[in-house]
Amino acid sequence: MQTTEKWSCGISKIMDDLSGKWRLNIIWIISNQPDIGFNQLRKNLPNITNMTLERSLDALQTKGYISKELLGHKPPLQSKYSLTVKSKNILPILLKLNNIN
């Protein structure tokens, strides 16, 4: 679904933000494992490529659904991902949708 100037509602904006094969899975994993690292995410999504995971994380971060914290002082730095208030607010709705048969 694409949000346009003529058609713009909150649901369609969220659907646009979360569309994609992996984004909801990523939010789900982070919600169950706060402060998870990139490699841990990768292990939880065995069929995703590194590039796809990076792009999905960047998109979710840009849209304000996850935050990224870099740990360490010298490369390689560790990344830790967590949910933002925005994603925590929609999580109960996603859980209700998950329970619909």
Q: Write the pLDDT tens digit of every residue in 33-70.
A: 989 999 999 999 999 999 999 999 999 999 999 999 99
- Residue 56: count other Cβ atoms within 10 Å of its Cβ: 21
5 pLDDT band, cuts 50/70/90, is low
Question: Which segments of the chain are extended strands (E)?
Answer: 36-37, 66-71, 78-83
More confident: 8 or 3: 8
Checking if the pLDDT of 1 tops 90, the result is no
- Grouping H, G, I as helix, E, B as strand and the rest as coil, residue 45 is coil
pLDDT band at 10 (very low <50, low <70, confident <90, very high): confident
Query: Which pLDDT value is given to residue 72?
Result: 85
